[in-house]
C-alpha cells in the first residue's frame, strides 16, 4: 500500500525523488532466486510539519532483517575503532556514574560496540532482530536478544532488567518505520536521569554530497536535528547535544534526555540554525537534490560506457547496500561492471540485487586487478585506500561518485 502520510506527523507527504523499481538493498541472491526476486517502487517524500524525509513505501521489516542478514558490522576495522570511541565516550560520561549501570543497544549487529561494555563487565543488553548477526554477538560474550525493538519489548526489558542509564544505537533508528512506537518505548525504558545517544547518516551531508545511495529499502528515514527534535519532542524528550561524525560519509550523533533533565548545549541551536539556512525544513531543497541526483546518474553512466568502449576492465569494490540503489537506478549491470569484490563470506558467490553482478571474494580483486574500480564503499575510502596502495601503484584508478562522479 502506498503511504502518502508522514509516519510522524500524520500530515500528507509530498513526493520529492523517485528511484523506480528497487530490490532489497542487502538481497544478494543465487541465480535460482532471480525469477522470484522481490522489488518495490522506491520514492522519498517530505513533510514540512515533521521535517522528516522518508521512504514513501518500505518492504516489511521481516523481509529485510532475518537469519541471513548480509551486513556484518565488524568487516571494517575503522568502524571497530569508531565504536570503541563511542563506547568510551559513554563510559566516561556523567550518565554512567552509578554503581551498577545498565546499557541497552538497539541493532547491535555482531556486537561491534557492545563488546566494549562486555569487556568491562558493564551490564548491557543488545536487541538485534537479524538472528545470524545476533548469534555472532552472543558468541563474543555480548548479551543479545534477537527481536525487533518495540514499546512492548521495552516494557519486558524493564520487568526483567530494570530501567536503562544509556540507550544507544548506531545506523539503526533510521531503519525503523514505527519510530514513534520506538521513541515511546525509549522514554519508558530510560531512567529519569538516563540518556539516549544514537547516530545515523546525516541529511545535511546527503544533500551537500548528493549521496543518494544512502536511500534504500532499509533507510526509511533520513534524519536532521530538526526532524529528531520534532520526533522526540512528541514524547516529552529533548535534544541536548549533537556531535558530527565522519563515518558513513557524514553522520550525526544525537544526545537526548527527558525534558529538563540536563541543560541543552549550544551546539543544538547552532545546528538547527545551520539546517534552516541549508533549507532542511523546506520542500524546495529536495527539488534541487532531485536535479543533482539525475545529473550524478548521467555522469556515472556516461563514464562507465566510455571506459567500456575503450576496452577497459571495470569492477566494483564493496558490495554495499548503497550500491544497490546506484546500480538499479542507473541500470548498471555485468556488461559495465565485471564483478564486485567483498570481504563478507555470506555475500560471496552470490549476485547483486536486481542487476545481478557477481559478488566475488576479495582475493579475486588482488589476483586479477582491473583498470578501474568503482568504490561503492566510498564511506570507507580512508581505510581502503590505505590498504590498496599496490593497486594504485600498478596504475589502477578509482572511480568515486561522492560528492561528484570522478576518476581519482
Ligand atoms: O545502515 C547500514 C550500514 C551501517 O551498513 C545498514 N543498513 C547496512 C550497511 O550498509 P552498507 O552495506 O552500505 O555498509 P558499508 O559499511 O558501506 O559496507 C561495506 C561493504 O564493503 C561490506 O560488505 C564490507 C565490504 N568491505 C570490503 O570488501 N573491504 C569493507 C571494507 C572496509 C573493506 O576493506
Ligand atoms: N549498529 C550496527 C548495525 C547497523 S545495520 C552498525 O552501525 O554497524 C542495522 C541493524 O539494525 C541490523 O543489524 C538490523 O538487524 C537492525 N534492526 C533493524 N530493525 C530493528 C529494530 N526494530 N530493532 C532493533 N534492531 C533493528
Q: Which three cell numbers stand for residue 100?
A: 551498577
Give phi and psi for 82, each to the nearest 5: -60, -45
What confidence tens digit (pLDDT) does each residue in 378-393 have?
Answer: 999 999 999 999 999 9
Cα 48 to averaged position of ligand 1 atoms, centre (Å): 32
Residue from 372, 64, 29 nearest 216 by CA:
64
Q: Which three cell numbers stand for residue 372?
A: 578501474
For atom 26 of ligand 2, which residue has the closest CA? 107
What's the Cα-to-Cα distance from 9 to each of 172, 174, 228, rounded to whole Å?
21, 16, 12
Which of 385-393's residues contact partners 24+ apart within 8 Å by CB, and which partners? Answer: 391/365
d(CA 69, CA 301): 30
Ligand 2 pocket check for 73: Cβ under 6 Å: yes
What's the Cα-to-Cα distance from 83 to each of 65, 87, 114, rounded to whole Å?
22, 6, 9
d(CA 148, CA 150): 6
Give the ligand whose atoms come closest to the C-alpha of residue 221: 1
For atom 25 of ligand 1, which residue has the closest CA? 318
Atom of ligand 1 nearest to the CA of 172: 1
d(CA 34, CA 358): 13
Cα 322 to averaged position of ligand 1 atoms, centre (Å): 8
Strand partners, 242: 254
Atom of ligand 1 nearest to the CA of 201: 1
Cα 170 to averaged position of ligand 1 atoms, centre (Å): 14
Give the ligand whose atoms come closest to the C-alpha of residue 199: 2
Cα 364 to averaged position of ligand 2 atoms, centre (Å): 30
Ligand 2 pocket check for 326: Cβ under 6 Å: no
The H or E element spanning position 82 is: helix 77-92
- Best mutation site among 111, 154, 175, 179 for ligand 2 pocket (most ligand atoms within 8 Å of CB): 175
pLDDT at 1: 46
For ligand 1, residues with CB inside 6 Å are 71, 75-76, 171, 218, 318-322, 342-344, 362, 377, 379-380, 383-384
For atom 17 of ligand 2, which residue has the closest CA? 107
For atom 9 of ligand 2, which residue has the closest CA? 172
Beta strand 123-127 pairing with 102-106 = parallel
The pLDDT profile of the chain, 408 residues, written as one tens digit per residue, is 466 899 999 999 999 999 999 999 999 999 999 999 999 999 999 999 999 999 999 999 999 999 999 999 999 999 999 999 999 999 999 888 778 999 999 999 999 999 999 999 999 999 999 999 999 999 999 999 999 999 999 999 999 999 999 999 999 999 999 999 999 999 999 999 999 999 999 999 999 999 999 999 999 999 999 999 999 999 999 999 999 999 999 999 999 999 999 999 999 999 999 999 999 999 999 999 999 999 999 999 999 999 999 999 999 999 999 999 999 999 999 999 999 999 999 999 999 999 999 999 999 999 999 999 999 999 999 999 999 999 999 999 999 999 999 999
pLDDT at 96: 86
pLDDT at 3: 62
pLDDT at 97: 73
What confidence tens digit (pLDDT) does each residue in 294-309 have?
Answer: 999 999 999 999 999 9
| 8 A C-beta contact, residue 133 and residue 123 | no
Query: pTM of the entire structure?
Result: 0.97
Cα 1 to averaged position of ligand 1 atoms, centre (Å): 30
pLDDT at 94: 87
Cα 308 to averaged position of ligand 1 atoms, centre (Å): 26
- CB contact burial 378-397 (16+ within 10 A = b; e otherwise): bbbbeebeeebeebeeeebe
What DSSP string runs through 204-226? HHHHHHT-GGG-STT--EE--HH
Amino acid at each position: 500500500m502506498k503511504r502518502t502520510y508522514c509516519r510522524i506527523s500524520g500530515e500528507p507527504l509530498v513526493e520529492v525523488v523517485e528511484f523506480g523499481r528497487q530490490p532489497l538493498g542487502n538481497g544478494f541472491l543465487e541465480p535460482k532466486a532471480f525469477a522470484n526476486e522481490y522489488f518495490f517502487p522506491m520514492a522519498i517524500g517530505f513533510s514540512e510539519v515533521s521535517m522528516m524525509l522518508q521512504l514513501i513505501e518500505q518492504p516489511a521489516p521481516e523481509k529485510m532483517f532475518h537469519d541471513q542478514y548480509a551486513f556484518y558490522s565488524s568487516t571494517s576495522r575503522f568502524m571497530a575503532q569508531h565504536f570503541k570511541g563511542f563506547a568510551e565516550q559513554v563510559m566516561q560520561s556523567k550518565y554512567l556514574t552509578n554503581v551498577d549501570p545498565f546499557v541497552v543497544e538497539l541493532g547491535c549487529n555482531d556486537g561491534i560496540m557492545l563488546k566494549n561494555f562486555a569487556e568491562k563487565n558493564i551490564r548491557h543488553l543488545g536487541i538485534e532482530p537479524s538472528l545470524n548477526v545476533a548469534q555472532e554477538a552472543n558468541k563474543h560474550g555480548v548479551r543479545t536478544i534477537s527481536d525487533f525493538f518495540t514499546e512492548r519489548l521495552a516494557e519486558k526489558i524493564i520487568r526483567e532488567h530494570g530501567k536503562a542509564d544509556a540507550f544507544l544505537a548506531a545506523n539503526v533508528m533510521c531503519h525503523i518505520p514505527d519510530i514513534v512506537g520506538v521513541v515511546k518505548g525509549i522514554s519508558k525504558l530510560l531512567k529519569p536521569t538516563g540518556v539516549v545517544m544514537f547516530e545515523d547518516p546525516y541529511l545535511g551531508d546527503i544533500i551537500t554530497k548528493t549521496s543518494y545511495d544512502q536511500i534504500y529499502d532499509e533507510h526509511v528515514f533520513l534524519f536532521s536535528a530538526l526532524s529528531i527534535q520534532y520526533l522526540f519532542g512528541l514524547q516529552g524528550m529533548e535534544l541536548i547535544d549533537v556531535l558530527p561524525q565522519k563515518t558513513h560519509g557524514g553522520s550525526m550523533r544525537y544526545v537526548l534526555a527527558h525534558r529538563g533533565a540536563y541543560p541543552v548545549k549550544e551546539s543544538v541551536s547552532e545546528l538547527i540554525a545551520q539546517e534552516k539556512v541549508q533549507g532542511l525544513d523546506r520542500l524546495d531543497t529536495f527539488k534541487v537534490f532531485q536535479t543533482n541526483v539525475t545529473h550524478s546518474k548521467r555522469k556515472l553512466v556516461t563514464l562507465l560506457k566510455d571506459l567500456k568502449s575503450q576496452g577497459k576492465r571495470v569492477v566494483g569494490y564493496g558490495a554495499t547496500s548503497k550500491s544497490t540503489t546506484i546500480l538499479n537506478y542507473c541500470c548498471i549491470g555485468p556488461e559495465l561492471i565485471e564483478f564486485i569484490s567483498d570481504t563478507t563470506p555470506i555475500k560471496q558467490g552470490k549476485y547483486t540485487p536486481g542487476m545481478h553482478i557477481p559478488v566475488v571474494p576479495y582475493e579475486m580483486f588482488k589476483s586479477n586487478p582491473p583498470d578501474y574500480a568503482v568504490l561503492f564503499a566510498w564511506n570507507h575510502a580512508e581505510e581502503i585506500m590505505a590498504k590498496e596502495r599496490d593497486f594504485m601503484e600498478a596504475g589502477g584508478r578509482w572511480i568515486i561518485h561522492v560528492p561528484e562522479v570522478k576518476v581519482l
